[in-house]
Structure 1
Amino acid sequence: MAWHQPRSLDEALEQLRERSPRIVCGGTDLFVNAQHKSYESEQTDWLDIRRVPELHLTRRTEAGLEIGAAVTAAEIWGSDEFRVVPALQQAARIVGGWQIQNRASLGGNVANASPAADMVVPLVAYRAEVRLAGADGTRSVPIADFISGPKATQLRERELIASLFIPARMLEVPQVFLRHDQRAATDISIVSVALLLQGNGSEIEWGIAAVGAAAPKPFVLSAEEEQRWSGELTAAKLDELSDLYTRRSSPITDVRASADYRRALVGTYIKRAANALLANGL
């Protein structure tokens, strides 16, 4: 086993080209499951990208906000520069305990592609892009396409996640992240919702909700269906919307909850998220 710790993005990409090592950043998901995977740590070369400075950069431009893949959950919820994406901050604040939050990276949460990954859900609602760097150059993929299913992504061989990009339209919009778990913010989500509503009072200009842990990957409605958020958000309309998200869900039954329970929670949390934003004023 070799453990490589590059000190620049160019060095990291060079080592990817030469050795095809297993990429690790915080390792909070990877090492927990290592004994159940086809690889064994004694036989695997590792590329630790935590010390690559380019992957820790955050940059806001007129186009939007770019967040380096190695930025940790603790840095996201603890820094004022991320106040423009409060739903992401709220999700980062409940990623396990504080020990996990100090190591878990945004890029790692995306790469792990768990259907219940907390920080992924706001990113899906934001229509974020995954920016990738590899031996063949760079490319950007919408996060909804990048995550193809449970623990499955479009990441290519000899490629790494460099950053996540959030369009300017999604910044500083009223938004909230809520989740249901078993042990008050230390367990895996049973259902989660990230909701953005732009409007004035109960009159909504546009809205986007993403739902996690209720399908093979976090999901949103189609652009046409999302137009139903527009206009006056009455109780009856919110009932219709919550029913629509419930019908779109396809949860599983596991040790934490049944599929029927999860499906019922989807509608409940869509309503809770909307009412929370309306109560705070838009």
Structure 2
Amino acid sequence: MWYRPDNLKQALALLAEEQPTIVCGGTDLFVNWEARKKQSPTRSWLDIQHIPELQRLEQTAEGIEIGAAVTAAELWQSPVTEGLAALREACQVVGGWQIQNRASIGGNFANASPAADMIVPLIAYGAVLTLASRTGTRKVAAADFVTGPKTTVLQDDEMITSVFIPHEVVGVPQTFLRHDQRGGTDISLVSVATVVKGAGAEKEWIKIAVGAANTTVVALSNDELNGTELTEEAIAGIARLYANECQPISDVRASAEYRKEMVKVFVKKALMKLTAKAGRES
């Protein structure tokens, strides 16, 4: 059975009563579709892609609210996200343009792949997800939502309805870098999002998140880095710190040792890029 509700209330009722599998863009769900159909021939599906409440993309005084069904293409092209360079950069490497026109921000979280791209800058931003069921809503920090490969804190009767990005990270220097083998059509080997605040080399605060190099995104508190001057030595130390925190796997695309080295390389590249930009602007 394929359900396509008109609004969020209907969707949450169907989710509670029928327990269907949620579909938004379906870019991961329908890979190897024929095999999946044989495994679960009687499964029901809940199509939430066109629900108006999940398509909101709004800026307020507190920050930016993104509906769960907003796509990667909508995110990197919308004027609302103009101050979110790292998120835009991540959205532009989510597969090819066909994938970007279907892949949703909620689906990127719910799919819970260690190599998901949009998740990484959102965790660096300190984003918060709203989860809803027929009985109510709750807030979960983006950093706490994914608990492991393909596992999340979502309950069976819940869905992601929105992602909130706080105002403090909008418009500040930030970047997203990704290392892969074949550009946007491949899966990340390592990805890094960096967000900083402060004039020149000395930063009021630094937020970093590393993806594809651990079972979940690695994002440290970095409170001890507040007020740090980003010299070459300091940047090299931060890069080593993140590499040591990562526990990547070895697979056909890269070894664990290589991924660890690339964490160091890309954290360093991201911080040096932002420091160089700040120097030019000052």
Same fold? TM cut 0.5: yes
Q: Could you tell me the percent identity over the aligned residues?
A: 51
1:238 paired to 2:235: yes
Partner of 2:69: 70
Describe the shift of the 1:57–1:215 C-alpha distance in structure 2 as closer, same or farther (beyond 3 A): same
The whole-number CA distance in structure 1 between the counterparts of 2:39 and 2:77 is 35
| Structure 1 position 38, deviation (Å) | 9.6
Q: Which runs of 5+ in 1 are unaligned?
A: none
Counterpart amino acid of 1:7? D
| Structure 1 position 33, deviation (Å) | 5.1
The whole-number CA distance in structure 1 between the counterparts of 2:247 and 2:238 is 16
1:141 paired to 2:140: yes
Partner of 1:15: 14
Partner of 1:44: 43
| Structure 1 position 275, deviation (Å) | 1.3
The count of aligned residue pairs is 279
Conserved in 1, the CA contact under 8 Å of 2:230 and 2:275? Answer: no
The whole-number CA distance in structure 2 between the counterparts of 1:231 and 1:263 is 24
Conserved in 2, the CA contact under 8 Å of 1:206 and 1:227? Answer: no
Counterpart amino acid of 1:160? M
Partner of 1:259: 256
1:185 aligned counterpart, secondary structure: helix
- The TM-score with structure 2 as length reference comes to 0.95
1:274 paired to 2:256: no
Partner of 2:60: 61
Deviations 1:115-141 (A, max 9, x none): 110000001101111111102211110
| Structure 1 position 16, deviation (Å) | 1.2
1:270 aligned counterpart, secondary structure: helix
Partner of 2:216: 217
| Structure 1 position 227, deviation (Å) | 2.5
- The TM-score with structure 1 as length reference comes to 0.95
Deviations 1:197-254 (A, max 9, x none): 1111111111010000011011111x2x443253211111111111101111100001
The whole-number CA distance in structure 1 between the counterparts of 2:235 and 2:10 is 51
The whole-number CA distance in structure 2 between the counterparts of 1:39 and 1:216 is 29
| Structure 1 position 184, deviation (Å) | 1.8
2:183 aligned counterpart, secondary structure: coil
Conserved in 1, the CA contact under 8 Å of 2:58 and 2:80? Answer: no
Conserved in 2, the CA contact under 8 Å of 1:207 and 1:227? Answer: no
The whole-number CA distance in structure 1 between the counterparts of 2:35 and 2:211 is 24
Mapping of residues 75-154 of structure 1, within 5 Å: 75-154=74-153
Conserved in 2, the CA contact under 8 Å of 1:208 and 1:226? Answer: no
The whole-number CA distance in structure 2 between the counterparts of 1:101 and 1:59 is 20
1:220 aligned counterpart, secondary structure: coil
Q: Which runs of 5+ in 2 are unaligned?
A: none
More divergent stretch after superposition (153-162 vs 11-20)? 11-20
More divergent stretch after superposition (80-89 vs 251-260)? 80-89
The whole-number CA distance in structure 2 between the counterparts of 1:204 and 1:33 is 47
Mapping of residues 155-234 of structure 1, within 5 Å: 155-221=154-220, 223=221, 225-228=222-225, 230-234=227-231
